Amino acid sequence: MSDATGTAADSATEVVWDLEPLVDGGGADGVRAILEDAQTKAEAIEQEFSGTIADRSPEEIAGLVAQLADLSEAVGRAGNYAMLAFSADTEDPANGALVADIQERASRLESALLFFELEWAAVTDEQAEAVLAHPGTEQARHHLRSIRRYRDHLLTEAEEKLLAETGPTGSSAWARLHGETLSRIRVPVPGEEGADDEPLTVILNRLSSGDREHRKAVAEAVTESLKPELKTRAFIFNTLLQDKAIGDRLRKYPTWLASRNLSNEASDESVQALVTAVKDRYEIGRRWYRLKAKLLGLETLSDYDRVAVVTTDDARISWTDGRDLVLDSYRAFSPDLGAAAEHFFTNDYIDAAPRQGKRGGAFCAYTVPSRHPYVLMSYTGSRRDVLTLAHELGHGVHASLARPRGPFEQHTPLTVAETASVFGETLVFDRLLEQSTDPEDRLSLLAENIEGAIATVFRQVAMNDFEARIHTARREEGELSVERFNELWRASQVDFFGDSVELSEGYDIWWSYIPHFINTPGYVYAYAFGQLLALSIYKRYRDTGAGFVPDYLELLAAGGSRSPEQLGEIVGVDLADPGFWHAGLDLVEELGKQAEEAAYAARPELAK
């Protein structure tokens, strides 16, 4: 059981989730049974409806959409069980085998149902509007409209089926190979002879050390550990870059990023406006890095100094206290939001226990509307862990409140997905800052806050710039050498850091371990989009007070039933305003100024 009553007050070692509700207690066998049943139903649907959508009545299509929703629920439950079990223990071969089995079965099921999206996209506007007006499509209207946005980019049914069937041996297989090469990397810990080598994802945390020599040694050890299979990862990267280029050409996408923008329900022009606005304000990040160098007693930061702590703060917060702080902050904003968050703790929907084999990082899995969301993290008692808990519970309450929207509209586009998480984290951050009176303590909090904003907004756009460079170069120049990847990576990073950070030669190959470039090309700008949107919404809350709460809850409950622009309108945010991005960046700049004030208050000598 999760610690809901203080039985594990000082740690999260007993806080583990129960995944069995996802499959009604059936475990891995239950997963396979669900998918076998879904495959049978999918094939029956294909046999009955394939080739007839244009001739069906609105009532018949509404009934079919309901059947597809049920299938989506079933497959989602099975897939989430497999993914979450693997995340909880990546070293168990049975978990990896179950994920692979799921992927293969899901591709066959997708192939059987492909006809619907293709035929629905092809019906006339008049037919489509008649279906959308039917009460049976109320929970799928936005989803159905979104499908029709892809009309110009769909292939024939035979071609789409072929791609679906070969997916597990195509790009997803290369992505899996890339992940496996990274998972094999073990890095020796500098200065700890006899200690076990650490996984790459773990040792990177040591770059926050207050000991500069240790940071430098860790960075050098990481670089050396990345070298052995670097050419293999570059080959995988080249293959996936070309695979995407071919797909974009066949589907008639004008740019490498156009398909991601369509998925995010964002125009190419609005995304370019975001990227341009952020790049124009790179100086915000540089200004903090110059001050950070002073705080660390350095003339200029090196790449391995970027995430170093600037104080000796070692405040620890027990699991119970961290949980209570998050819940109290949520309840103070809205009792309804607090109740939704509390449900995670009282019903075993959180896995917070640190342990060997557990996936690094943190996430919230929405699962499906008929089941509750789940949160994974490793709670070790730092204030950062408390803020991570607040962040992931923001995702969790968003997922919970949007469950009535059904499987097709519970999820938002990526560009809006961080709204509730950043909002929730900021609620808790403000509470921590309010409780802090010591200058060094406030500096620690504010430094971490501005660095998080810089990483989420500016660094992600710099990585988007790297992606733009490599996708363009691969299409214009052909296969890229390791040296060409290195060159383009350094160029994008120098554009961001300017003279505020010196880049070591070893840093040139650090592009090779970032999974987003492989798994979800074009994904990273959504972080900047979401952060700036969430900060703007939080500012609206500060400006309007309690009257804002009902609008915010309406926004969360809407899920993905409206476009990002329409969701923004609920809380008074105009995403179509060209000045919107700069207004959000003004907020980040203000965060930086607050951090500067805290730095000079804690270290008056720096102002001289």
The pLDDT tens digits for 465-493 are 999 999 999 999 999 999 999 999 999 99
Two tokens, residue 451: 């660095």
- The residue-averaged pLDDT of 355-379 equals 91
Q: Which residue, chain included where needed, has tokens 């007993």?
A: 14
pLDDT value of position 180 = 85
Percent composition of the chain: helix, strand, coil (DSSP 3-state, to 5): 70, 5, 25
- Of the pLDDT bands very low, low, confident and very high (cuts 50, 70, 90), residue 311 is confident
The span from the CA of 512 to the CA of 222, in Å, is: 11
- Contact, 367 vs 76, CB < 8 A? yes
- In the predicted structure, residue 397 carries a pLDDT above the cut 80: yes
- In the predicted structure, residue 223 carries a pLDDT above the cut 50: yes
Q: Phi and psi at residue 187, in whole multiples of 5°?
A: -110, 125
- The residue-averaged pLDDT of 5-17 equals 69
- Of the pLDDT bands very low, low, confident and very high (cuts 50, 70, 90), residue 8 is very low
- In the predicted structure, residue 6 carries a pLDDT above the cut 50: no
**CA pseudo-torsion sign 452, 455, 458, 461:** negative
- The gap from C-alpha 404 to its chain's centroid, in whole angstroms, comes to 23
Q: What is the pLDDT of the chain when averaged over all its residues? A: 92
Two tokens, residue 78: 């099975």
Torsion of CA 427, 430, 431, 432, to 10 degrees: 120
- In the predicted structure, residue 85 carries a pLDDT above the cut 80: yes
Share of residues in the chain with pLDDT > 70 (%): 98
- The residue-averaged pLDDT of 452-468 equals 96
Two tokens, residue 508: 């040139």
The CB density around residue 531, as the number of other CB atoms within 10 Å, is 23
- In the predicted structure, residue 5 carries a pLDDT above the cut 50: no
- Contact, 381 vs 408, CB < 8 A? no
Give ranges for CATH 1.20.140.70 in the chain.
20-163
- Of the pLDDT bands very low, low, confident and very high (cuts 50, 70, 90), residue 432 is very high
CA atoms within 13 A of residue 257's CA, in its CB half-sphere: 24
- In the predicted structure, residue 317 carries a pLDDT above the cut 70: yes
Of 173, 147, 178, 141, the residue nearest 160 (C-alpha): 147
- Of the pLDDT bands very low, low, confident and very high (cuts 50, 70, 90), residue 595 is very high
For residue 186, list its beta bridge partners. 199
Two tokens, residue 181: 């090469």
pLDDT value of position 583 = 86
Of 569, 567, 253, 571, the residue nearest 414 (C-alpha): 567
- Of the pLDDT bands very low, low, confident and very high (cuts 50, 70, 90), residue 261 is very high
pLDDT value of position 382 = 86
pLDDT value of position 358 = 85
pLDDT value of position 9 = 43
- Taking CA atoms, 148 is separated from 152, 268, 357, 589, in Å, by 9, 18, 42, 40
CA atoms within 13 A of residue 288's CA, in its CB half-sphere: 31
The span from the CA of 313 to the CA of 566, in Å, is: 43
pLDDT value of position 164 = 80
- In the predicted structure, residue 206 carries a pLDDT above the cut 50: yes
- Taking CA atoms, 600 is separated from 285, 295, 440, 603, in Å, by 18, 10, 10, 5
Per-residue H/E/C for 417-486: HCHHHHHHHHHHHHHHHHHCCCHHHHHHHHHHHHHHHHHHHHHHHHHHHHHHHHHHHHHHHCCCCHHHHH
- In the predicted structure, residue 383 carries a pLDDT above the cut 50: yes
**CA pseudo-torsion sign 178, 184, 188, 192:** positive
The span from the CA of 593 to the CA of 111, in Å, is: 54
Three-class secondary structure of residue 328 per DSSP? helix
- In the predicted structure, residue 104 carries a pLDDT above the cut 70: yes
pLDDT value of position 579 = 82
- In the predicted structure, residue 128 carries a pLDDT above the cut 80: yes
pLDDT value of position 1 = 35
Global confidence as pTM: 0.86
pLDDT value of position 7 = 39
pLDDT value of position 290 = 96
The span from the CA of 494 to the CA of 265, in Å, is: 31
pLDDT value of position 429 = 93
- The residue-averaged pLDDT of 4-26 equals 78
- What string of DSSP letters covers 369-404? TTS--EEE----S-HHHHHHHHHHHHHHHHHHHTGG
Q: Which residue, chain included where needed, has tokens 């952060």?
A: 531
pLDDT value of position 4 = 39
pLDDT value of position 10 = 66
- In the predicted structure, residue 131 carries a pLDDT above the cut 90: yes
CATH number of 20-163: 1.20.140.70
- In the predicted structure, residue 548 carries a pLDDT above the cut 90: yes
The CB density around residue 40, as the number of other CB atoms within 10 Å, is 11
pLDDT value of position 608 = 67
- In the predicted structure, residue 439 carries a pLDDT above the cut 70: yes
pLDDT value of position 200 = 87
- Taking CA atoms, 189 is separated from 196, 305, 417, in Å, by 8, 17, 36
- In the predicted structure, residue 26 carries a pLDDT above the cut 60: yes
- The residue-averaged pLDDT of 18-26 equals 95
pLDDT value of position 314 = 67
The span from the CA of 512 to the CA of 182, in Å, is: 9
